[in-house]
Copies of this chain bind each other. A is one copy, B any other.
Amino acid sequence: MARIRLGMVGGGNDAFIGGVHRIASRIDDRFELVAGALSSTPEKAKASGEALGLAPERSYGSFEEMAEAEAAREDGIEAVSIVTPNHVHYSAAKAFLDRGIHVICDKPLTSTAEDAEAMANAVAGSKALFILTHNYTGYPMIRQAREMIAAGDIGTLRVVQVEYAQDWLTDPVESEGSKQAQWRTDPARSGAGGATGDIGTHAYNLACFVTGLRGEELAADLQSFGVGRSLDDNAHVMLRFAGGGRGMLWCSQVAPGNENNLRLRVYGDKGGLEWKQEDPNYLWFTPHGEPPRLIRRMGAGASEAANAVSRIPGGHPEGYLEGFATIYAGAADAIRAVQGGSARDDAMGLLPDIQAGLDGMAFVRACVTSAGDNSAWVKL
């Protein structure tokens, strides 16, 4: 099947996540990167485009220019990846959605509630797909955990423990030249949430994705430990889910020793599941009253849902890029499906959608509101 023609907004030479998207798009050979507006400064955009081997005429100085030009080409891009800082997500996405070009957008959805609402409207008014890269949902064992819970393997859910700990903001590196840290700690570019927006949204999304629960309300205590930092860099959150499940969420970027320690534990009245992003090929499953079982990707006990998004045999570890690639492969399937006439919602399958994005925004807003009201419970 022919590869999907892909463009990219953001992701120039210095960026981290742009390179991740590009590798992820290549792994399953479903996309070909043919156009880009890779930086907010035209010169850097051109240089980055050249480095990536883009045709010079398709390396644009701005996303507006790119949207217009590509929409006009017969071999124009079919989809675009948006990998800019958060405050650019909405305007960039809208430019492509309005032209019927499918959008794959980094999380969180936007930097402001207004943008989020406008994004939802733009998606509603477009025929194009909108896919948010909550990439951790692409891990095979996460797919299996979701399937097992849906099948009742651990019974009625009671307790959800989710945490996402990092340490890279322990020191005030934003004032020491780290570009990654600068925009992430800047309310104008990141939005109201610091750690809550950057990684808390991932944790919250993952908990909801795996359990199938909907958050009802939360109570939050936010901290900014970093000297001179205005956004939260550590957050303690209690959660109440619809139906009676309760949870805790901890996200931190000031926990020395933690690199990217996203961890999920779910307990029901019949069993428990535990998973850790840094060792993603393993899923612990304890049927209550039996010994814990270590289910391994593509190994004994691995399920259809997990195997369907695995590439290589058990014991050959797949990692972060492969999980991310699963989102891209799913996006390719969805794009070809709608191109073939499928309804947009049917085509999305398990892909994170605009609703996941709005849920993440609601999570950040509720955290900030609750923290401002001395941790009162706030509806989600």
Residues of A bordering B, CB below 8 Å: 1-3, 16, 19-20, 22-23, 26-29, 53, 154, 158-159, 161, 163, 166-167, 170-171, 219, 221, 223, 225, 234, 236, 238, 240, 246-248, 250, 252, 254-261, 265, 267-272, 274, 277-281, 284-296, 299-301, 311-322, 374-377
Give the residues in chain B near A26, CB-CB below 8 Å. 26-27, 29
A3 to B52, CA, bound (A): 11
Contact B2 A53 (CB under 8 A): yes
Which residue of B has the minimal Cβ distance to A299? Answer: B259
Q: Is the interface of A mostly helix, strand, loop or mixed?
A: loop
Q: With contacts A255-B265, A291-B296 known, what are 5 further pairs, Cβ within 8 A?
A: A158-B225, A167-B286, A256-B270, A260-B316, A319-B322
Contact A313 B16 (CB under 8 A): yes
Contact A166 B315 (CB under 8 A): yes
Which residue of B has the minimal Cβ distance to A289? Answer: B300
Give the 6 A-B CB pairs with smallest separation, nearest first.
A260-B315, A259-B315, A257-B286, A319-B319, A317-B319, A256-B272
A267 to B236, CA, bound (A): 14
Give the residues in chain B near A376, CB-CB below 8 Å. 376
Give, as a whole number of angstroms, the nearest-CB distance from A222 to chain B.
9
A234 to B301, CA, bound (A): 25
Residue pairs across A and B with Cβ atoms less than 8 A apart, 15 shown, are A2-B53, A3-B53, A23-B27, A26-B26, A158-B234, A219-B221, A225-B269, A236-B238, A255-B267, A256-B288, A257-B272, A258-B272, A290-B300, A290-B301, A319-B322
> Which residue in B167, B221, B300, B374 is a CB contact (below 8 Å) of A291?
B300
Residue from A19, A23, A255, A289 whose CB has the most chain B CB atoms within 10 Å = A255
Give, as a whole number of angstroms, the nearest-CB distance from A255 to chain B.
5
Contact A19 B311 (CB under 8 A): yes
A290 to B285, CA, bound (A): 13
Give, as a whole number of angstroms, the nearest-CB distance from A95 to chain B.
26
Give, as a whole number of angstroms, the nearest-CB distance from A137 to chain B.
15
Give, as a whole number of angstroms, the nearest-CB distance from A178 to chain B.
12
Give the residues in chain B near A281, CB-CB below 8 Å. 278, 319
Contact B257 A274 (CB under 8 A): yes
Contact A295 B300 (CB under 8 A): no
Contact A256 B321 (CB under 8 A): no
Give the residues in chain B near A374, CB-CB below 8 Å. 377
Give the residues in chain B near A260, CB-CB below 8 Å. 313-316
Contact B289 A291 (CB under 8 A): no
A279 to B376, CA, bound (A): 37
Contact A20 B250 (CB under 8 A): no
> Which residue in B20, B171, B246, B279 is a CB contact (below 8 Å) of A279?
B279
Contact B318 A321 (CB under 8 A): yes
Contact B223 A254 (CB under 8 A): no
Contact A20 B280 (CB under 8 A): no
Give, as a whole number of angstroms, the nearest-CB distance from A211 to chain B.
15
> Which residue in B167, B319, B320, B375 is a CB contact (below 8 Å) of A377?
B375
Which residue of B has the minimal Cβ distance to A161? Answer: B250
Contact A294 B294 (CB under 8 A): yes
Contact B293 A291 (CB under 8 A): yes
Contact A257 B271 (CB under 8 A): yes
A159 to B252, CA, bound (A): 9
Contact B20 A312 (CB under 8 A): yes
Q: Given known contacts A256-B267, A260-B314, A289-B300, is B320 in contact with A321 (CB within 8 Å)?
A: no
